[in-house]
Amino acid sequence: MNMGKKSKLVIAISSTALFDMAESHHVYEQQGVDAYAEYQRQREDEVLSPGEAFPLAQKLLRINDKLEGEPRVEIILLSRNSADTGLRVFNSIAHHDLAISRAAFSGGESPYRYVSAFGCDLFLSTNADDVRSALDNGVAAATLLPSRGGPSDTDELRFAFDGDAVLFSDASERIFKERGLQAFTDNERAAAHTPLDAGPFKNFLQALQSLQSEFSQDDCPIRTALVTARSAPSHERVVRTLRDWNIRIDESLFLGGLSKGDFLKSFGADVFFDDQQAHCSSAREYVATGHVPHGVANE
């Protein structure tokens, strides 16, 4: 096969994020691993309902239908199940007609170790410890929170990102937390021409842009937005940083501290990534939300 320089977007999703496994998790918590295994075996022909990441997975895989040649998007399933109890998960994948063929069943251990081995650009899970471990190993990762907002009804896939401690490092946010808004504003104004250091999601955004470049601007199925509490004059450093990275974000919202939820709904985000629990709590009322346990807000 000749893929030239076209790279693949690889996303790892845990079984508990892909499917609603609340009931079986309850059995595990109350009765232990043996009862859980037996519970799954008895129900391996019962199809699991979609979980938080399911609509996102569907939209991601549909991108492959729009491009000729080798699939450009791959989803890897990661699970703490054993392969034996994971049979129900694969049966559910087949039932829902999801083109997912690679998986790691880690038998009770954290599966995050396989995120790098599979070359993943992003890891989505409901287990905060696994997510933190992946972030510590340099992979973009987020804990998907139960959301009240349903998926958008278009094929277009819309990603929204917070800035500091997500796309960018938390160095500026640290100044804000420790010394207040004025010190933060003064620092950003003085450093306007100095690019911000990369945060954990920079490489994922870059991989997304690489995939976007396969399409003309008129029919691109992916749209990105920066949704940040920053406002003028601290916006300039952000704009110059993205320019320095040679990354184009489709929409940038500088909200100056306004609640993000309404804006994410207006953008039509399929998923939003933020490092702060408070922002995640308001966002999840409207859209699927991934908490990024990184930076000063999570120490």
* Domain regions of the chain by residue span: 9-145, 157-298
Sign of CA dihedral 49, 55, 56, 59: positive
Q: Specify burial of residue 78 (Cβ count, 10 A radius: 0-12, 13-18, 19+).
A: buried
Fold of 9-145: Rossmann fold (3.40.50)
Catalytic residue among 20, 84, 97, 162: 162
Give residues with Cβ within 8 angstroms of 214, minimum separation 6.
6, 67, 72
* Domains 9-145 and 157-298 alike in fold: yes
Query: How far is CA 294 from its chain centroid?
Result: 13
pTM to 2 decimals?
0.93
Residue 145: name the closest of 299, 283, 298 by CA. Answer: 283
Give the percent of the chain with pLDDT over 70.
97
Is there a contact between 78 and 106 (Cβ–Cβ < 8 Å)?
yes
Task: Establish whether 162 is a catalytic residue.
Answer: yes
pLDDT tens figures, 241-299 = 999 999 999 999 999 989 999 999 999 999 999 999 999 999 999 999 999 999 888 88
Q: At what angle do helices 87-95 and 33-42 cross, to 10 degrees?
A: 40
Tokens of 227: 């949704």
Lowest pLDDT segment from 30-34, 53-57, 98-102, 183-187: 30-34
Convert the pLDDT of each residue in 228-250 to its tens digit. 999 989 999 999 999 999 999 99
pLDDT of 55 over the 90 cut: yes
> What topology does CATH give the domain 157-298?
Rossmann fold (3.40.50)
